Amino acid sequence: MRFRFILLALFLSLALPASASESNEAEFQSWVKDFKKQAVEQGISKTTLDQAFEHVTLNQKVLDLDSRQPEFTRTFWQYFRSAVTEWRIAKGRYLYQKHRRLLDEVTKKYGVPGRFLVAFWGMETNFGGYTGNIPIIESLATLAFDPRRSEFFSKELIDALKILDQGHVTLDEMKGSWAGAMGQCQFMPSNYVRYAVDGDGDGKKDLWGSLPDVFFSAGNFLSTLGWQKQENWGREVSLPENFNYVLADGKTARPLAEWSKMGLKLADGRPLPKEDMQAKLILPSDYRGPAFLVFDNFKVIKRWNNSNNYALGVAHLADRIIGRPDLSKKAPKDDKALSKTQMKSIQERLNWLGYDAGKPDGIVGSQTRSALRAFQAERDLPADGYPSHRMLDMLLSTQK
């Protein structure tokens, strides 16, 4: 399989006229020339610029990774089980103990408990084990040259150059992900400029090699974005029978007392805490999966990466690091990702049956989910609005 792929790649590269990539490179180099002028105007030194761009060429691999569109999006369970692995939990527990003193210092200063700092670190780079090996200036210059998100990446590139200019890291050390995320907690350059902290006091903000710098920076980031030190992130809960799943919209905040009145309990059956707090209800999978009440800190976690699944991964890993239990639910046997084509056919079929799912595009958003909920509700099914193979089969066999 791999061999065939290499042959195919070889064929494609031979089939492409050499002049196309050469002219791309020429265009890129002329773009770099213009960009360097703008960078000087924004205060970057000429020495830094000349050194930073000396060996930079258009990186085709970065462009390929950026334009990749997966046909399948993983389900919550598939994502979650690959994010919160036994290995990560065990390693997280060990490192949480090992760096306890340092973590306590960060908590004292920023109010963020150490278990979350370790969980982010584990999710982002396997606790510093893999921080990426693509030269940041090259990846950002390539993405800034590409018209798709040129403005965003041009700003990131300027910030990356500022970091070099200030001498926090050498050009050779400044490596990271193809999309420009850097160091052990994978900060984008703009976040680095805003939130990085010199935790060990050596005058440099080194997010690659200094753990105090990494933890203090992560703490500063979360605290600046509104981390509430008295609050946790949220809790797994159990829902009463015949629950109205429309309430699990992840958007409407209600007091804990109100959720309690509706019959929600902690996953282990105990009553919800009595605190005067607002919470939103999230159901990341279908009605058979786990439900979570989340507090304001959950929103702060999402500022790191704007995805419920990611934030639930970080939060649950943090819980497991201090010995809290696994989720109360297991993935059902029929948990299988739908392809974009299958999602699209769910949307088409809903529209055909008279439930407005919007323009079929294979991306399930709130309109498709409401349409699916209406379809389920009329058939006395749990109205979780969750697109599954089962729902697809049911839609395909339903007549008008």
By the criterion CB under 5 A, which residues form the site for Ca ion?
A: 198, 200, 202, 204, 206, 210, 213
**Residue with smaller CB distance to Ca ion, 146 or 198:** 198
CA end-to-end span of the chain:
45
The strands making up 265-266's β-sheet, listed across from edge to edge, are 254-255, 278-282, 291-294, 234-238, 265-266
19: Cβ–Cβ under 8 A, 6 or more apart, which residues?
Answer: none
**Residue with smaller CB distance to Ca ion, 203 or 323:** 203
Q: How far apart are CA 17 and CA 326, in angstroms?
A: 55
From the CB of 184, what's the least distance to Ca ion, in Å?
13
Q: How far apart are CA 143 and CA 132, in angstroms?
A: 17
**Residue with smaller CB distance to Ca ion, 169 or 343:** 169
From the CB of 204, what's the least distance to Ca ion, in Å?
5
- For residue 1, give Cα distances in angstroms to 5, 54, 211: 6, 38, 41
Q: How far apart are CA 258 and CA 264, in angstroms?
A: 9
From the CB of 97, what's the least distance to Ca ion, in Å?
23
* Count of alpha carbons within 13 angstroms of residue 117, beta-carbon side: 29
Q: How far apart are CA 181 and CA 176, in angstroms?
A: 6
Q: How far apart are CA 127 and CA 121, in angstroms?
A: 5
| Residue spans of beta strands (DSSP E) within 121-206 | 134-135, 175-176
**Residue with smaller CB distance to Ca ion, 99 or 369:** 99
Burial of 126 (0-12, 13-18, 19+ CB in 10 A): middle
**Residue with smaller CB distance to Ca ion, 140 or 214:** 214
Q: How far apart are CA 31 and CA 161, in angstroms?
A: 16
Which residue type sits at 217? Answer: S
From the CB of 100, what's the least distance to Ca ion, in Å?
20
From the CB of 206, what's the least distance to Ca ion, in Å?
5
**Residue with smaller CB distance to Ca ion, 146 or 173:** 173
Token pair recorded at residue 371: 């349409």
**Residue with smaller CB distance to Ca ion, 93 or 204:** 204
From the CB of 174, what's the least distance to Ca ion, in Å?
15
* H-run or E-run covering 307: none
* In contact, 203 and 188? CB cutoff 8 Å: no
**Residue with smaller CB distance to Ca ion, 159 or 213:** 213
**Residue with smaller CB distance to Ca ion, 92 or 176:** 176
From the CB of 372, what's the least distance to Ca ion, in Å?
51
- Among 57, 210, 221, CA closest to 139: 57
From the CB of 199, what's the least distance to Ca ion, in Å?
6
From the CB of 201, what's the least distance to Ca ion, in Å?
7
